[in-house]
Amino acid sequence: MPFHLDFSTPHSTVLFWKYDDKSDEFDHNALIEPENFQRIEHYHPKKLSEYLMVRRLLKMVLPNHKILYKTIGQPYLHPKDAFISITHSFPFAALAVSNKRVGIDIEKIMPKILKIKEKFLHDSEHQWTQNENEVEWLTVIWVIKEALYKLHPSKYWSLKKHYRVEPFSLEDTSAICCSVFDEQFTDSYNAKVVRMGEYYFALVEEHHVLNFKISSGSLF
């Protein structure tokens, strides 16, 4: 299956691809940037497919742009006239493009998250996270914090100490309050979380984003 879902908002273009080994064919020469050849030459086939799906989505939005990486591994768009965020969990891959900072993340709902919950749960989150459906609660919190990490310029490494999700209901995850903070500041956001079968997907956008439309390969 090629193009799968469009989760675009008035502020960001957000596209999903779901891999199908029976129909998906990618032109490696057209999709792999020369600057990234060494980076991906030893990728596992699944990881390479995720990489190629993201590039194929970019061609749908901005065919004359490419995705490069900073020395710390953070992806960025070239030319630098928009912000991007990438996420993938095979067979899914997604790309967000916006004129303000944006963060997306996808995670499969799996019990193994119970083993690492103390590494990313803020103390306040222990007070309201429920034991019933705990794996789902934790997965939602995780994807929100991962999306926030990709969005926020401070790039605090500790999801436990500097990222917080406010109480929410699993029945309505369309606008979950969350924040990045330290002793000097607090930046608050609303995260949109969508359940996709066995996966949760989170989108967080920077405040005061301007509207735009896609036309002839140009975002703005």
Give per-residue pLDDT as tens, 197-218: 999 999 999 873 333 333 333 3
Predicted confidence band of residue 13 (pLDDT cuts 50, 70, 90): very high
What confidence tens digit (pLDDT) does each residue in 62-118 have? 999 999 998 878 899 999 999 999 999 999 999 999 999 999 999 999 999 999 999
Is 180's pLDDT higher than 70? Answer: yes
Name every residue whose Cβ is closer than 8 Å to that of residue 47 and which is 6 or more positions away in sequence. Answer: 90
Beta bridge partners of 102: 205
pLDDT at 185: 86
The mean of the pLDDT values for the chain is 88
Mean pLDDT, residues 149-176: 90
pLDDT at 216: 35
pLDDT at 3: 58
User: Which CATH number applies to 3-99: 3.90.470.20, 3.40.1590.10, 3.40.50.170, 3.30.420.240?
Assistant: 3.90.470.20
Is 150's pLDDT higher than 90? Answer: yes
pLDDT at 29: 84
In this predicted structure, which of 2-16, 99-113, 154-168 has the lowest mean pLDDT? 2-16
pLDDT at 130: 77
In this predicted structure, which of 84-98, 129-143, 145-159, 160-174 has the lowest mean pLDDT? 145-159
Residue range(s) in the chain whose domain bears CATH number 3.90.470.20: 3-99
Is 119's pLDDT higher than 80? Answer: yes
Predicted confidence band of residue 41 (pLDDT cuts 50, 70, 90): confident
Pick 126 or 3 by higher pLDDT: 126
The pTM score is 0.89
pLDDT at 11: 86
Predicted confidence band of residue 183 (pLDDT cuts 50, 70, 90): confident
Mean pLDDT, residues 31-41: 90
Mean pLDDT, residues 43-64: 93
